[in-house]
Amino acid sequence: MPADIDDAREAAADAVIAPDSKPPFLAEALLPVVLLVSMLAASVAIFGEDASYGPNQIALLLAAAFAGLIGMRRGIRWPALQEGIVTAITIALPAMLILLMVGALIGAWILSGTVPYLILLGTHLLSPQWFYPAVCLICALVSVSIGSSWTTAGTIGVALMGAGQAMELSPAITAGAVISGAYFGDKMSPLSDTTNLAAAVSRVDLFDHIRNMLWTAGPAMIVALLLFTVIGRGSAESDSTLHLLLEAELTAEFHLGMMTLLPLAVLVVLSARRYPPLPVLALGAVIGAVLAVVLQYDAAVALAPEGMTGVAAAFTGAWIALFDGYQSSSSAAEITSLLDRGGMSSMLNTIWLIMTAMVFGGVMERTGLLHRLVEALLIFVRGSASLIMTTLGTSFLANVLAADQYMAIAVPGRLFEKAYGDRGLSRLNLSRSLEDGGTLTSVMVPWNTCGAYMAATLGVATFTYLPFLFFNLAAIGFAILWAALGVGLIRDPEAGIVRA
């Protein structure tokens, strides 16, 4: 996930900002949500796939303005609203900086040969029939080791997307496999900031929290692997001529070998040693750019403006790859569709979407409208099962309205802690529900930082890959099922009065 653990805890501490006036009515809290949902639906109906390139941002800003008017009508002044907006954007700044750095890293790693070599290895080592479950497992292992679904998707995930495309496999299913594996690893890694945040907010031991998550994560991963295997078994063998074209074009354009994996090795080692993600990604991008000048001299020169030659041209080409991505010299459309991507500029629209979403979330938080909506959900709590289901729903609602997974963990965590104690339930039930409802659903919302990041990085729209998030969906399903059956609940009679 985007921020380090200290940043996540600080964000959690500031997550609930008390409004300056009396609590709003529920109808007032619902109005901006109804407006936003209506405008987003109209945006998709009118603009289709282009909705996230401006129309959705306008919808979020107009809904934020409407929520702000409700707040001002209730006595909240503009400086307070602005403070809420700035606070929300500040919380998302690490995510936006990482987006820029991932864009630079992708461009540099394509030019350096790192991504092309991984694509070539993937097409040689993985058969179409076993590709999807293998992708899920590979991303799970990488994510567990480094504790970051974002870094996993932005590095090995991009290469696996390219390998799947080269084998003429579904980009949506491949993206689902990448995200499913990455989120399993992120959820179960002690290095993950969201895992630490959920444990910290719930005030439980980190490793007890991770072990308790196996109730939902374990069977969900089995289901995901089975589904990816079933889908994969129906995949036809890819065209051998495409394999030959891919190998011929990539080896002609790049000097490929084990040396091109150096940036990936450095990134994995530093991430596993718990160095902060932003400088690690920046270092990976710089190493990729330098390696490109050394190993891919001709490709780097080809990126430079016409007329430039020599080492200066190679460095200029590497510089261009960092901010504007890579442009293949191949005449084959299959190759250019694989390689023409990356650069910081490719992430600017996603950052625009995140910023407008955080404006809406910040206004909803500062006016107390979000807090009122979450409080209203407590009326549905009648017992242990409904409490867990309400926690799941509240975390998802926070992901939709606040557009940030930290808020989706911190706000419900604070609001529901007493309710769990009143029912004699251990706070481990709360921490697990926060992860299932907050962490896993964040990637399902197009304007959430996580959903926007995955769509931009993997090149697949959020609603397109959503049906194939088998792990995420299955984990939520098991969370609901176990709650309904009373399975996996940890009792703590000292926490409060046990009620059915």
Percent of the chain residues topping a pLDDT of 90: 33
For residue range 319-328, what is the model confidence (pLDDT) as tens digits?
A: 999 999 999 8
Q: Can you give the pLDDT at residue 16? A: 43
Provide CB contacts within 8 A for 210, sequence distance 6+. Answer: 188, 190, 195
* Res 93 pLDDT > 70: yes
Confidence of residue 22 (pLDDT cuts 50, 70, 90): low
pLDDT, mean of residues 47-57: 81
What are 333-359's pLDDT values in tens digits? 777 877 888 899 988 988 888 888 889
Q: Band the pLDDT of 1: cuts 50, 70, 90.
A: low
Q: How sure is the predictor about 496, in pLDDT bands with cuts at 50, 70 and 90?
A: very low
3-state secondary structure of 414: helix
Which residues sit opposite 425 in a β-bridge?
A: 491
Q: Check pLDDT > 50 for residue 8.
A: no
Q: What is the pTM of this model?
A: 0.77
Per-residue pLDDT band for 498 (boundaries 50, 70, 90) equals: very low
414 falls in which pLDDT band (50, 70, 90)?
confident
Average pLDDT over residues 236-241: 60
Q: Which helix (H) or strand (E) holds 181?
A: helix 171-188
| Band of pLDDT at residue 233, cut at 50, 70 and 90 | confident
Quick: pLDDT tens for 353-400: 888 888 988 898 889 888 888 778 777 777 788 888 889 988 898 888
Cβ pair 296, 24 in contact under 8 A? no
Distances in whole angstroms, Cα of residue 10 to Cα of each of 203, 222, 407, 441? 15, 35, 11, 22
Highest averaged pLDDT of the listed ranges 49-53, 192-196, 252-256:
252-256
Q: What is the mean pLDDT of the chain?
A: 84
pLDDT band of 204, cuts 50, 70, 90: confident
For residue 458, the tally of other CB atoms under 10 A from its CB is 22
